């Protein structure tokens, strides 16, 4: 069992370190000084991971990959959500924000509340069918023969979550260093436009994916 745990940790560890949508959301939220919301986003993402891991261990997500209609429906819902979120970020950078004046309120980031961040992180994760497909494809390969698949699946998922939390803590700490620089309006505009573009691009990529 220890071999399975270490092997799975290596695979999901590399996945966690790969820059992507989760990294962009965590960095932006934390860099803007919204520490409570940033941790809400982090725990929301990990809540989604727990759900995908539990459903995979029960065999439910296999139905998602087997049903083309279900997969396409979830993919388009996730794509629409990401494109909406990205375009909203971009739109707000052009609504009365001057690069020479004080930083404008940031509706796209939301208030600094844990529940708001948790909701955003959870939706972002659960509306990504590729997370489910990843777990269906990868998790069963690390389940030892004769083991309780549900219990072992949850244990492996917990390993993924712990690695995600450690990496997210590092990202939040790094973003705090940037907070002073991001108090400049021009820096805020750059961050928002880059993040909004990344989020919307992920949505388009998800929509056009196979």
Nearest to 99 by CA among 188, 31, 204, 22: 188
User: How far is the CA of 42 from the CAs of 37, 119, 164, in angstroms?
Assistant: 9, 10, 8
Nearest to 112 by CA among 34, 192, 8: 34
Q: Give the tens place of pLDDT for each residue, 27-44.
A: 888 877 788 999 999 999
* pTM, to two decimals: 0.73
Q: Give the tens place of pLDDT for each residue, 75-97.
A: 787 778 778 878 887 887 777 44
**Nearest 10 degrees: Cα torsion 120, 123, 127, 128:** 50
Q: Give the tens place of pLDDT for each residue, 137-189.
A: 788 878 887 788 889 999 999 999 999 999 999 999 888 777 676 667 777 67
Query: First CA to last CA across the chain, in angstroms?
Result: 34
């Amino acid at each position: 069992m220890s071999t399975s745990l270490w092997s799975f940790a290596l695979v999901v560890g590399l996945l966690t370190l790969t820059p992507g949508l989760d990294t962009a959301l965590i960095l932006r939220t934390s860099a803007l000084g919204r520490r409570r919301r940033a941790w809400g986003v982090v725990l929301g993402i990990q809540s989604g991971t727990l759900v995908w891991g539990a459903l995979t261990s029960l065999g439910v997500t296999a139905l998602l990959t087997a049903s083309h209609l279900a997969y396409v429906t979830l993919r388009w819902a996730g794509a629409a959500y990401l494109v909406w979120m990205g375009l909203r970020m971009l739109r707000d950078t052009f609504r009365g924000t001057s690069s020479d004046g004080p930083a404008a309120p940031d509706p796209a980031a939301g208030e600094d509340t844990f529940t708001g961040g948790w909701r955003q992180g959870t939706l972002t994760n659960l509306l990504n069918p590729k997370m489910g497909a990843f777990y269906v494809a990868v998790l069963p390969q690390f389940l030892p023969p004769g083991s309780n698949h549900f219990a072992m699946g949850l244990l492996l998922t917990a390993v993924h979550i712990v690695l995600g939390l450690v990496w997210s803590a590092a990202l939040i700490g790094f973003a705090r260093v940037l907070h002073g620089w991001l108090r400049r309006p021009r820096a805020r505009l750059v961050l928002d436009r880059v993040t909004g573009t990344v989020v919307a691009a992920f949505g388009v990529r998800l929509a056009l994916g196979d």
